Amino acid sequence: MKLTGQLAGRLKEKFKRHPREWTRREVIALSAASMATLGVGCLGYGAVVREHVEISRVEVKIDNLASEFNGLTMAQMSDIHHGPYTGLEYINRCVEIVNSLSPDLIALTGDFTFAGANYIEPCSEALKGLKARIGVYSVLGNHDYYAGAGRVARALKNAGFDLLIDARDCIALRGAKLWLMGVDDFYYGTTDIYRLMRGVPLTEPKIVLSHNPDFIEEFAVAEKHIDLMICGHTHGGQIRFPLIGAPQISSGYGQRYAIGMNRKNGMQVYTTRGIGTILLPVRFDCPPEIVLYTLRQA
């Protein structure tokens, strides 16, 4: 920033002449200096914003939700990406934020590390501080496979979390039931949707934890209805611009499921921006996010 500022200062002195007197080379030099200053400024802004966590409170209306579960809350953290860009101090702060919401459930939807297997155990150790009345549930993401899916799974289990890899759990309260299901990673897993949902009554509410929002299309093709899928993976694009949105989205459906609440065949799917970053340690118009869902009877 100092170098570009000095360069701009020298050019400013040189360009006290009327713009019509500037040479083509001087115009190019001034443009380059301006772009460099703007670029460094944007990176600095993005580096600050990337750890300014927002809490999104989302009400989800569900058909056939029993009164026993009306008002149940579920906090979601995703895409933690503990590594060179996402440190333990920041993760601990996010854990404190989640606990301050006093959720009934907590869902961790994959991508716990970035850039190495050595970050797995420290991340899970930090996450052990999470507290929920019913429990903490988790699934794996593609970066967990890069680091070593087996090692990530063991660390999560050792932390006391329920790992739902192509598995489900039925929460029962005074005879009423709510199903939580988890799918494996979209790219590296071998999820069988028919097997996952076999024996689950059609009339009972179902929530699916998935790292990748593209999985909602698989449920649509299988003609298996779920009430809500919560996901991450896209980071909301991490860098977004007005009108055009994110230039790059890690999804086979482009901007369709990039961010926030969307629907497919009557099914609701929410894609969180997550809390970590990869590739570049910056966010632009896309701050990190912790989601608190509140279930309501439709």
Contact 58, 104 (CB under 8 A): no
| Contact by Cβ (8 Å): 238, 81 | no
Cα 147 vs. chain centroid, distance in angstroms?
Answer: 18
The domains located in the chain, with CATH, are 2-47 (no CATH), 54-297 (3.60.21.10)
Which residues 6+ apart lie within 8 Å of 249 measured at CB? 234, 237, 255, 258
The owner of tokens 């999820």 is 191
Residue ranges of the alpha helices (H) in 50-160?
88-100, 120-127, 142-147, 149-158
Cβ contact 156:163 at 8 Å: yes
180: burial class by Cβ within 10 Å (0-12, 13-18, 19+)?
buried
Q: Are 138 and 158 in contact (CB under 8 A)?
A: no
Mean pLDDT by 10 residues, the chain (298 residues): 49 50 52 39 46 94 97 98 96 98 98 95 98 98 97 98 98 96 97 97 97 98 97 96 90 96 98 95 95 97
Adjacent-strand bridge partners of 55? 290
Which residues contact residue 5 at a Cβ distance below 8 angstroms, ignoring those fewer than 6 apart?
A: 37
The pTM for the full model equals 0.84
Return the DSSP state at 87. -
